[in-house]
Structure 1
Amino acid sequence: MFQIDIVEQCKRNDRKAQLQLYNQYCQGMFCVAMRFLKNEDDAEDVVQESFIKAFLRIGQYKGEVTFGAWLKKIVVNKSIDFLKSKQLKTVELDEVYMHVAEDEDWSVEDTVTINEVMHAIIGLPEKYRYVVQLFLVEGYDHNEISEILDISYTACRTRLLRGKGQLKEILKSSKYVARS
């Protein structure tokens, strides 16, 4: 059965079709949530809430992107919302007037593993960590990240540049990054 057919059945509140979509995407969405939350119980909760939200709002799904991409955005937003709800105090810096330098170099030594990079990303401040993770790990572009995090395009690029700089410093202090 084609995915479009399953989605259309879900729009008619077909529980079998919902279970089929859930089974198809739950493991992948769990992995997405785990990359943000680092806790299996929290990730399971976020995935469940994300599927509930997706099925409640499936009428809004227009097929402009794959169902998986649409669902992934819900999981990412739910994960970030969950993390924000655990934070008692955050300070927002107005980055609207900041100039962004172009620096697309993300190279590190060949010996650096993805686990080492992921561990280093965890060490970034929250506002940089989310942008770097969404860009490097989840593959979103600046416009998508700006929309997900509800920040300006300029703030997104600034945070990505600064986050990348801090990420390189973390890796450099661990003697992982190429010195240039």
Structure 2
Amino acid sequence: MFQIDLVAQCKANDRKAQMKLYDQYCNGMFCVAMRYLGNKDDAEDVVQESFIRAFQKINQYKGEVTFGAWLKKIVINKSIDFIRSNKRRFEELNESIHIVEDEDWNVPDGTTIKAIRWAMEDIPVKYKSVVQLFLIEGYDHGEIAQILNITESACRTRLLRGKGYLKELLKSRNYVTGS
């Protein structure tokens, strides 16, 4: 069955079609939520809430993007809302941090994705969200600004600072060389 047919059936409140879409996307959306939350139970809760929200708002889905992309945006927003509501690791901006330009990054070939993700866990949430949305999810500044309800200028600043934090963390853990 085609995805468009499933979505149409879901719009008609067909529970079997909803279950098929759930089965098709739940694992991928769980991975997205895990990247933000880092906790299996929290990620499972956010995925469940995201599917409920998606099925409640499915009539707003116009097919301009794939259903998966539309659902992924819901999962990301729910993950960010979860982080905000639980006040996880919020830190005030440390004005003394050295902001590093992209060309200063020298990541050795041996640096693993695991090491980068591990270092990302220690980035303040307001920067981590922007870095994840930009580097991992592939959103542009306009999309990130809309998702996080910030200006594009704030998005660019947070991305630059977030990358600075990430570089310093990797450098302190001997993953990055250079100044």
Query: How does the TM-score come out when normalised to structure 1?
Result: 0.89
* Pair 1:135–1:106, CA change in 2 (3 A): farther
Question: Which whole-Å CA distance do the structure 2 matches of 1:107 and 1:32 have between them?
Answer: 27
Which residue of structure 1 aligns with residue 123 of structure 2? 124
C-alpha spacing 1:92/1:174, structure 2 compared with 1 (3 Å): closer
1:105 CA displacement:
6.8
Query: 1:110-149 CA distances to partner (integer Å, 9 max, x unpaired)?
Result: 1110010001111111111111111111111111111111
| Paired amino acid for 2:155 | C
Instruction: Name the residue aligned to 1:70.
Output: 70
Amino acid at match of 2:27: Q
CA 1:161–1:88 in 2, change beyond 3 Å: closer, same or farther?
closer
| Pairs within 5 Å for 1:36-51 | 36-51=36-51
SS in 2 for 1:123: coil
Task: Give the 4+ runs in structure 1 shifted more than 3 A.
Answer: 88-93, 100-107
Question: Using a 3 Å threshold, how does the CA distance of structure 1 residues 161 and 85 change in structure 2: closer, same or farther?
Answer: same
Paired residue for 1:147? Answer: 146
Alpha-carbon displacement from aligned partner over 1:70-122 (angstroms, at most 9, x marks no partner) = 000000000110111111896887xxxxxx99747765111110010001111
Tell which deviates more after alignment, 149-158 or 34-43.
34-43
Question: Given the two structures, how large is their TM-score scaled by the length of structure 2?
Answer: 0.90
Contact residue 33 and residue 43 of structure 2 kept, 8 A: yes
- Any gaps of 5 or more consecutive residues in structure 1? 94-99
Distance, in Å, in 2 between the alignment partners of 1:56 and 1:104 is: 45
Letter in 2 for 1:21: L
Q: Aligned partner of 1:143: which letter?
A: G
1:163 alignment counterpart: 162
Q: Who is 2:84 aligned against?
A: 84
Whole-angstrom distance in 1 between the partners of 2:128 and 2:88: 18
Match of 1:31 in 2: 31
- Deviation string 1:126-180 (CA, Å, 9 cap, x unpaired) is 1111111111111111111111111000000010011111111110111111315
- Alpha-carbon distance in structure 2 between the residues aligned to 1:34 and 1:163: 19
Q: 2-side partners of 1:59 and 1:165: how far apart?
A: 41
Contact 2:119 2:170 in 1 (8 A): yes
Separation in 2 of the partners of 1:137 and 1:111? 19
Counterpart position of 2:96: none
